[in-house]
Structure 1
């Protein structure tokens, strides 16, 4: 069955000319009905084409398709793969971070690509103009729906699909690697029997011979890696000697490089005939690689692949592996979920991995099965070989996994409070009955009916009631006064949902707001400590070789209440804010920094809503410093479009440390400071688009008699763009008045001057912008009491 016969207008959208047997059997359900479809099939059997078929049908009907990719690293790959749709005049748009989102492009896209987490965040904000596009989805394709069983991420996918179905009732097409309980997933998604497919191992293009091999565990984790590497090479060697290819999965990006370097030495020692050093053309092509280590390695037939490589280098490695130039490839798990890159022999060297946020964790069973599924090259091999290398104590666990597969369970119970709070914050749940109705739309409910005792279903109603009462006790939900169990979200609950926070973190942030309201003593360190101790970082661990570097960064700062992992996060954030994270901490710094900026943004919103604009402005400045690594006095420069860390540093060194300085310097002054004329013009325009404040004290006295009083006025004038502002007046350090206003032009603030017991009165007026990292404008006047 040729693609051109079935879908002539979309023939160029597929990477092949003919559908295989599995695709042919699913085709009628996908193209000839509107029913929801669930298909389980072995890895590498061609499931992606099922997604593309569903998308084509929707595009032909003038609809919008959403593709949910299992991880962020794969969303951009899908965008690249689907340039075939772009060539047919259909637009593909990957929805990524909050700041990178282009709502207009998302609204007009024909195919949207998102991760479960991004879709969860977007659907929580579906009633905003920025995210309203998520309510206009006609088909939702879930790639790797067995992700439902993943820690934390599984419950996100589950509740998000349930929410999306309530919002716009899209057709659902769920695809999965082989799973024993596909019928439960079909029941959850209301896929009829004729649209539920369980393609067995006979549909695998190449037979898989999978097994477990053990190694002797030692006391040194570093030495253990090499023991496992030698074991992996033992398993790969017979295939390498027969011109077969091997793919070895390791736990981290750094390990792919180290393992490749060590493997090159070992291959030479064993005299395995590999490499293409005599191939002049390939030698010339290898010069295109940007990574020096990789450039040397590929000539010996060994390479590594991870998401940190440039796209050019990843593409070349994939191309050369397919062509057979690379015979031994070391990779992280991303490759198993993304690119279809099979090998005759697949070895999983590491079953544990270091997660910057979770510490050492077991590789998920889903990842293990996904990786082993890459064994066997269709059209080249009759059989593929897959091996798990593990400690003897874990061998039986992996043998059971390979023999029985992995039933997909719901993980919603583990994070029920968080997701229930989100639904209440959106207003979709207003009483206990609504909670029960909502639960009936989840996979948790379906699975609980299959295993009532394991899911504690006889006590479900009481559990939900306890969960609601817990949310009330912690200040996230308020109960109706009538006692009828009507419920609504508090500001704390709404902010926790909007900013995607764990509830423990939201409670910490709310407590910090109380502290800010009780005293105006919040400083940058208070905010950084609150973020470092957030629940999102609970599992961060500090390795022994990192502790001296942590102590060096935190010298002079009292951190007695913080645990070792929290001190590590704090050290990374302080280092990031100053623009210099110690080398010992850099391996985890990127992930921690990314999460911390999100948390600081959320903390700013808490302070803005529950405290005051000055505290919110402090959070915004701390966030900008952590994100950009700029000095405290120059952080306002990052508010200018087009000014990142490099330009901010350059301008600051030339004495231009605020947007006001930039406006004052003009284009000529910016060019003299080292910017090109074109860049200078853009930076100058960007600086002019920010608020800029001037204070006029008017007839303010220099002295006042004891016991006398006078009411004066200070005028706050915004000569820049309108913005929300907080205006605060203090006298001798005590707040006299404060106001939050949208400052368009001028605002007059009354200031009472009272002859008091003090000899002098120091009046200070401060103006801060909670949404911009601008240093507050402060001016003071002194009045003598005579």
Structure 2
């Protein structure tokens, strides 16, 4: 790797970027930054840059320098953050750019996108997942801004090796480069194979940097520590906690700080509570215990447990804390008020909070979708890299605490690091389908051309003993394409390939192929005259491939009968657990035994229900889509089947829906009839009642008139009549269906204003003709509307 030496170590920020000096929180660049800056600031805009450097060595400043270079040229910069929690932190940090007249806009799934703001933004901040979604939809007006990106900064590019997220980052970068060819600046903690990443991104040698441990601001001493493993997992947590305190205690007594990483948010709280008592029992002196002013500030904390803990110098930090609480914890830790901090791995990837001593108490974690899994090697290295406080410590001390059977594996990781691997092969069929659905790949040769833009292809060339060789890659791609053709996701004619409706929907909703096939099969039942019912919808979602790794503990299994009775007893325990959580969610009462995983499972299930609804609209019928929409709303809000239509009203969630239903108001028509006075009587304030009534009036309000339908008709006679549907609310897509004695006569879908449908009355060999009009709204959780007329057939 070659670098440039135009800048001396310690060069002033205003000498390099005079217009942006106020955007940096320091006045001079450090040694690592000074060596990499020429490639970033003075290099060719067409030259991509890859920098691998130890944690806490100052990579963020390189990202900001790349952004400044882009802004100076009048361009738009995209910053890809590894975690959603970090996108919000960047928004706060980069108010420095706002003060210079540049706009920063964070695009996440939890915020409503404002396309005009995104288009005007000078700096966009996104996660790889959101960037993936934006690039897939780049040709829509809503996401067209993504093609205006001039520079893309990838923070922690070693995320490529993440089991779930690596392939998403890989295909997103490849797609972005095809769409608008931005300059790529990829930053990473130390990785073995920086050359592979540089090769993939076409970064020239002069723009590729691998800074070793000598560039760490504080030398790191790392070790693997074992503990006495027992038969009780709960007791083992405390054995590891005491081991962590043994390691951290001397540093705390010496006035230093310790950061202990644990598996979950709840673990941070429990560990802090126990550690606080244990430090007192060990008589370890904590300097903040006598700080009256600090104790007074601590009273402002929102979290009660945190408030009690921090006054003894022990804190915890996780993404679920209120922002003000997190900000205070971070500030107090930086100031040395908190000497022992427990955190989840989120802190390792984001906020720069180094400590003299870092201990990883938990190397395994519980994933709601995967069960117990090993913490990724990337996370382990990232956490260990937080050891050592620049300017305060001569050395950092980092420890992995694990079972003896895992010790050698972690020792090898500490000694050798880990090469960054591609994870694309594990999801090749899903991502190839997405590229075909996007129109990027439209013939067989394009398939290999696309593959050659991926890190997977580069890594395979670099390590052929671990990956397929070129010929085998072609075979793999060929078999993957055949799988897509055989499954109906792709049509192939000679060398040309094009997506089917199934392939497009699968890509749109990020479904695995097996799940998409199950959804499609459920829709196909209607072609055989089999109705889709609630049980079938819930079972199909619970049995989705994405839920196959969900595990069910013994205490959880014991609750299944109470929730499900005998429903779907043939499902695997993990999938039956998903079903139980969905059923309980619909009822609004989730048993305590199922609550720990319920939120994550429900959020994923809601995505699958939205996808299944779209499948029903395309491959089944509006009434089936409406059923799925009502189930979706019940899972989300926990309301009864009779009152589910209330949540279609803007401003009505589960709480207000339950309040209204208790007063006998179970649908928007009831709300309109009640008026403001009735809603106030039901327990709403007058202002809320007025807003909800206004929203209810915008929903469909139907009246149905039959014209020309006789009371009786003679056998062998016939006449034509009609039925008119009027909607006094807003026009929404509606499926209209006329049947006679259960046999469909007319069906169509349209935006409903006023619609008239023909009705043929034919006297046949039956005694009675029952005509039924059904109206179902596929996009609204409103109960279907139906109306009947009966005609007697006289002999």
Q: How far has the Cα of 1:53 moved from its partner?
A: 0.8
The more displaced of 205-214 and 613-622 is 613-622
Distance 2:240 2:152 in 1: 41
SS of corresponding position for 2:643: helix
SS of corresponding position for 1:772: coil
Deviations 1:296-318 (A, max 9, x none): 11122111111111111111111
8 Å CA contact 1:275–1:302 kept in 2: the answer is no
Distance 1:779 1:520 in 2: 22
Provide the residue aligned with 2:188 in structure 1: 176
SS of corresponding position for 2:736: strand
8 Å CA contact 1:275–1:298 kept in 2: the answer is no
8 Å CA contact 2:491–2:498 kept in 1: the answer is yes
Is 1:631 aligned to residue 628 of structure 2? no
The more displaced of 355-364 and 58-67 is 58-67
Deviations 1:210-235 (A, max 9, x none): 01001122221111111111111111
SS of corresponding position for 2:758: strand
List alignment gaps of at least 5 residues for structure 2: 1-10
Distance 2:459 2:42 in 1: 30
Which of 768, 772, 780 is equivalent to 1:764?
772
Does the C-alpha gap of structure 1 residues 101 and 528 become closer, same or farther in structure 2, counting only changes over 3 Å?
farther
Provide the residue aligned with 2:612 in structure 1: 603
Is 1:314 aligned to residue 314 of structure 2? no
How many residues are treated as equivalent by the alignment? 781
Is 1:470 aligned to residue 483 of structure 2? yes
8 Å CA contact 1:762–1:783 kept in 2: the answer is yes
Which of 542, 550, 555 is equivalent to 1:540?
550
Provide the residue aligned with 2:705 in structure 1: 696
Distance 2:25 2:633 in 1: 44
Q: How far has the Cα of 1:656 moved from its partner?
A: 2.7
Q: How far has the Cα of 1:343 moved from its partner?
A: 0.5
Provide the residue aligned with 2:274 in structure 1: 262
Q: In the TM superposition, what are the counterparts of 1:326-365 in structure 2 within 5 Å?
A: 326-365=338-377
Provide the residue aligned with 1:519 in structure 2: 529
Provide the residue aligned with 1:742 in structure 2: 751
The more displaced of 291-300 and 9-18 is 9-18
8 Å CA contact 2:523–2:532 kept in 1: the answer is no
Which of 269, 280, 300 is equivalent to 1:288?
300
Q: In the TM superposition, what are the counterparts of 1:492-503 in structure 2 within 5 Å?
A: 492-503=502-513
Which of 553, 564, 571 is equivalent to 2:573?
564
Provide the residue aligned with 2:671 in structure 1: 662
Distance 1:107 1:667 in 2: 41
Q: In the TM superposition, what are the counterparts of 1:406-555 in structure 2 within 5 Å?
A: 406-457=418-469, 458-480=471-493, 484-555=494-565
Provide the residue aligned with 2:737 in structure 1: 728
Which of 22, 39, 48 is equivalent to 1:29?
39
8 Å CA contact 2:80–2:155 kept in 1: the answer is yes
Deviations 1:630-651 (A, max 9, x none): 2222222222222222222222
Is 1:773 aligned to residue 781 of structure 2? yes
Q: In the TM superposition, what are the counterparts of 1:141-180 in structure 2 within 5 Å?
A: 141-180=153-192
Q: How far has the Cα of 1:516 moved from its partner?
A: 2.8
Does the C-alpha gap of structure 1 residues 590 and 506 become closer, same or farther in structure 2, counting only changes over 3 Å?
same
Provide the residue aligned with 1:399 in structure 2: 411
Distance 2:185 2:121 in 1: 19
Deviations 1:417-459 (A, max 9, x none): 1110000111111122101111111111111111123211131
Q: How far has the Cα of 1:752 moved from its partner?
A: 2.3
The more displaced of 98-107 and 151-160 is 98-107
Provide the residue aligned with 1:681 in structure 2: 690
8 Å CA contact 2:443–2:495 kept in 1: the answer is yes
Q: How far has the Cα of 1:757 moved from its partner?
A: 4.0
Q: How far has the Cα of 1:544 moved from its partner?
A: 1.4
Q: How far has the Cα of 1:99 moved from its partner?
A: 7.2
Is 1:590 aligned to residue 599 of structure 2? yes
Does the C-alpha gap of structure 1 residues 635 and 88 become closer, same or farther in structure 2, counting only changes over 3 Å?
farther
Deviations 1:381-438 (A, max 9, x none): 0100000011111111111111111111111111111110000111111122101111
Deviations 1:35-88 (A, max 9, x none): 211100000111111111111111222211111111222221222222222222
Is 1:109 aligned to residue 153 of structure 2? no
Q: How far has the Cα of 1:550 moved from its partner?
A: 2.7
SS of corresponding position for 1:479: strand
Q: How far has the Cα of 1:734 moved from its partner?
A: 3.0
Provide the residue aligned with 2:4 in structure 1: none
8 Å CA contact 1:135–1:167 kept in 2: the answer is yes
8 Å CA contact 1:301–1:325 kept in 2: the answer is yes
Which of 66, 79, 85 is equivalent to 2:91?
79
Provide the residue aligned with 2:8 in structure 1: none
Which of 95, 100, 118 is equivalent to 1:88?
100
8 Å CA contact 2:708–2:720 kept in 1: the answer is no
Deviations 1:709-740 (A, max 9, x none): 33220011122212221001223333332111
Distance 2:90 2:653 in 1: 29
SS of corresponding position for 1:155: helix
Deviations 1:180-209 (A, max 9, x none): 111111111111111111111111110000
8 Å CA contact 1:30–1:53 kept in 2: the answer is yes
Distance 1:331 1:221 in 2: 20
Deviations 1:147-203 (A, max 9, x none): 111113111111110000000111111000001111111111111111111111111
Distance 1:126 1:186 in 2: 26
SS of corresponding position for 1:633: coil
8 Å CA contact 2:226–2:402 kept in 1: the answer is yes
Distance 1:276 1:548 in 2: 47
8 Å CA contact 2:569–2:576 kept in 1: the answer is no
Provide the residue aligned with 1:783 in structure 2: 791
Deviations 1:111-140 (A, max 9, x none): 111111111122111111221111111111
Q: How far has the Cα of 1:534 moved from its partner?
A: 0.7
8 Å CA contact 1:703–1:784 kept in 2: the answer is yes
Distance 1:703 1:214 in 2: 88
Q: Kindly report the root-mean-square deviation, in angstroms, between the aligned alpha carbons of the 2 structures.
A: 1.6
The more displaced of 647-656 and 259-268 is 647-656
Distance 2:174 2:254 in 1: 50
SS of corresponding position for 2:256: coil
Distance 1:328 1:757 in 2: 86
Distance 1:742 1:615 in 2: 17
8 Å CA contact 1:141–1:172 kept in 2: the answer is yes
Distance 1:526 1:447 in 2: 43
Distance 1:536 1:506 in 2: 11
Q: How far has the Cα of 1:98 moved from its partner?
A: 7.8
Is 1:651 aligned to residue 660 of structure 2? yes
Distance 1:706 1:309 in 2: 74
Provide the residue aligned with 1:120 in structure 2: 132
Distance 2:536 2:559 in 1: 21
8 Å CA contact 1:121–1:500 kept in 2: the answer is no
Distance 2:517 2:127 in 1: 27
SS of corresponding position for 1:697: strand
